Amino acid sequence: MHDIWALAEQHEGVIKQVSFELLHRGRLLADSLGVRLVSLVIGHSVSSASLDELIARGADEVLVLDDERVSDFVCETFSNILVRLVREHRPHTVIAAATSTGRTLMPHAAIKIGTGLTADCTELRIEEGTGNLLQTRPAIGGNIMATIKTPHHRPQMATVRPKSMLPLPRDASRKGSRVNIELHLEDIDERVKVQGYRRDPSGANPVEEADIVAAGGRGLKKGENFTLIQELADELGAAVGASRDAVDRGWIGYAHQIGLSGKTISPKLYIGAGISGSVQHLAGIKTAENIISINSDPHAPIHQIADLSIVGDLFTVIPIVIRKLRQKNREVR
Amino acid sequence: MHIIVPIKQVPETSNVKMDPVSGTMLRTGVETVVNPLDLYALESAFRLKEQHGGVGTITVITMGPPQAVKVLKEALAMGCDQAYLISDKAFAGSDTWATSYVLSRAIMELGAYDLIIAGERATDGDTGQVGPGIAAWLDIPAVTYAAAIESTDAGFVSCSRMVEEGYQQVAVQLPAVITVVKEIGAVRLPTLRGKIRSRSAEIPLIDAGKLSAHKPLWGLSKSPTRVVKIEQTTVKREGKTVVVDEHTPAEAAADSFMEFLAEKHIILGDRHA
């Protein structure tokens, strides 16, 4: 009763990194309330080691529903399970990562449960005295921070922006319990059938999950020049991002678009090359920890919000950076 | 085929300037437009109707103040067949829970439908919660982040969902709610004929009175969430600048890049971490 619940996500039996980040959030909330942190895993063939990892990273209890019929995310089925468990256990708060899954499941379940939900929070804390969850999120393109609460409905629900907090360090000595949950026949919604997956051919490293993002824009002049950004990204272990301009020109797929009509990211480092920095693009990178801009135009707006602005020709500067990174990488290995 | 497309009016941001001091958006005199991502929902609806030999009806709806008629007219000019404005002072202050409820009840008043297609999220609120919310209220399936929609067998559509791993292929039984992303395809422009037609088009109003058969779970008082604080964000950045010119070679700029990584403890070659 009144625990903090954090939803863990898995793909093909592997728990996603965002779920460990989320446990850190949950741990802080549970500690400030003096309650337990429960991790809910719905999936199939999740290894025992992965489940132990959830405990090592902060969970007190792991609820596992392991069944072949829930190996893939289907909103209605997952929502049926979540709603049933919430009604049964009455948690204080339910949080999920603001991923494609979290941002689909949580609004559906919140309606069914009859409670409020705040999207894409970057800060969560407990209000003293009331136990209300203070949910802070960027809005209007990151230009304002809104703090929202759900005073009269329980549980309180929020999705949390990926990369907005690091996972707790692994602590193998932590103790926790594991509880298996049965799938009920009525949980399964037959109206949606998952037929399979197709990988993004332009790279398996999604921008919203990357620690470093190297992005290119119109300044690249043509699509083939994205290879320069790809090379830079390879040396940095980074994901490749793009401005809307570059995507609209067909230089790279929409999955890479950063900004108001693309993805909002919070990497440790964002590098924008040949990107002028429209209001919309900047909205997508405001919560990046560090920003480096490379643009020959000294008046490009991106320079105004960068920690390091390089005013220079990207075709000259980036190859030198790549060379230096290669050298450095060789030293490390 | 009857397709309903809920759209939202949002502030136009493409010409917005940043305040160089506070780093915030200057919003004075900002016009409203159709939420950019809703244009892809409209486009998907037009394409599906075309696949069906142009047979069917596309209904565009919006919930908002009376001025929101403007975005409905725009949608009509693009090719929608009919439009409804959902507007009432009583709806004001609705959060995503209450908004999706009002939209779902208004949709129930529109008769039978096959599909509800919405933008993945609005660029102002940025929650993406109303699409799945409508599906939950209507008890029909929700397919989000659709990058492609194809009509298959009667009563089903197949969708390709853009997810973190790539694309998830699903088949969904109709009626359903589908929210779409930009990959759906390039958006068409309003036609001259459409513009002329939309000017004189009658746009019926759905107000609280029209929804009197339903529980009044709308407005601020019925919304579970409350905004308790709004703060302007201030961007604190170091703002070091290196200008490549006759005194500073590109090599020096690259060195600054490398020093920056070292200072920030950004680990290299950590690609499999």
pLDDT digits (tens, 9 = 90+) for A67-110: 999 999 999 999 999 999 999 999 999 999 999 999 999 999 99
- Cβ contacts of A314 on chain B, cutoff 8 Å: none
Q: How confident is the model at residue A145 (pLDDT cuts 50, 70, 90)?
A: confident
Residues of chain A with pLDDT > 90, as a percent, come to 87
Q: Supply φ then ψ for residue A316, to 5 degrees.
A: -95, -45
- pLDDT score of A135: 97
Contact A104 B145 (CB under 8 A): yes
- pLDDT score of B154: 79
Is the distance from CB of A39 to CB of A19 less than 8 angstroms? yes
Is the distance from CB of B13 to CB of B25 less than 8 angstroms? yes
Position B233 in a domain? no
> Under CATH, which architecture does the A207-332 domain have?
3-Layer(aba) Sandwich (3.40)
Alpha-carbon distance of B13 to A143, in angstroms, equals 12
Q: DSSP 3-state assignment of B88?
A: coil
Q: Find the mean pLDDT for residues A48-73.
A: 97
**Which CATH number fits the domain A4-187, given the four candidates 3.40.50.620, 2.50.20.10, 3.40.50.300, 3.90.230.10?**
3.40.50.620
- Cβ contacts of A170 on chain B, cutoff 8 Å: none
- Cβ contacts of A212 on chain B, cutoff 8 Å: 266
- pLDDT score of A205: 79
Q: Which of A203, A223, A222, A221 is nearest to A213 (CA)?
A: A203
* Chain A contact probe: residue of B261, B267, B272 with most A CBs at under 10 A: B261
Alpha-carbon distance of A192 to A198, in angstroms, equals 18
Nearest-Cα distance to chain A for B201, in Å, is 30
- pLDDT of residue A322 exceeding 80: yes
Nearest-Cα distance to chain A for B131, in Å, is 9
Q: How confident is the model at residue B152 (pLDDT cuts 50, 70, 90)?
A: confident
Contact A312 B164 (CB under 8 A): no
Alpha-carbon distance of B141 to A213, in angstroms, equals 35
Buried residues in A135-169 as b, exposed as e (16+ CB within 10 A):
bbbbbbbbbbbbbbbbeebbbbbbbbbbbbbebbe
pLDDT digits (tens, 9 = 90+) for A127-137: 999 999 999 99
Nearest-Cα distance to chain B for A174, in Å, is 23
Range list for CATH 3.40.50.620 in chain A: 4-187
Position B229 in a domain? no
- pLDDT score of B22: 53
Contact B232 A198 (CB under 8 A): no
Q: How confident is the model at residue B272 (pLDDT cuts 50, 70, 90)?
A: very low
- pLDDT score of B15: 54
* Chain B contact probe: residue of A19, A75, A243 with most B CBs at under 10 A: A75
Alpha-carbon distance of A4 to A266, in angstroms, equals 24
Domain of residue B9, CATH code: 3.40.50.620
Q: Who among A120, A323, A333 is closest to B269 (CB)?
A: A333
Position B15 in a domain? yes
- pLDDT of residue A122 exceeding 70: yes
Range list for CATH 3.40.50.1220 in chain A: 207-332
- pLDDT score of B33: 93
pLDDT digits (tens, 9 = 90+) for A199-243: 866 556 789 989 999 999 999 999 999 999 999 999 999 999 999
- Cβ contacts of B181 on chain A, cutoff 8 Å: 254
- Cβ contacts of B273 on chain A, cutoff 8 Å: 211, 237
- pLDDT score of A41: 98
Q: Which helix (H) or strand (E) holds B62?
A: strand B57-63
Least confident of A164-178, B147-161, B216-230: B147-161
Contact B264 A290 (CB under 8 A): yes
pLDDT digits (tens, 9 = 90+) for B56-78: 999 999 999 999 999 999 999 99
Q: Find the mean pLDDT for residues B138-163.
A: 93
- pLDDT score of A154: 95
Q: Find the mean pLDDT for residues B165-185.
A: 95
Q: How confident is the model at residue B219 (pLDDT cuts 50, 70, 90)?
A: very high
- For chain A, the straight-line distance linking the first and the last C-alpha, in angstroms and rounded, comes to 50
Contact A115 B135 (CB under 8 A): no
Least confident of A83-97, A158-172, B223-237: B223-237
Q: How confident is the model at residue B20 (pLDDT cuts 50, 70, 90)?
A: low
Q: What is the mean pLDDT of chain B?
A: 91
- pLDDT score of A1: 61
- pLDDT score of B47: 96
Contact A110 B137 (CB under 8 A): no
Q: What is the mean pLDDT of chain A?
A: 94
Contact B132 A104 (CB under 8 A): yes
- pLDDT score of B273: 38
Residue B118: give the domain boundaries. 2-222
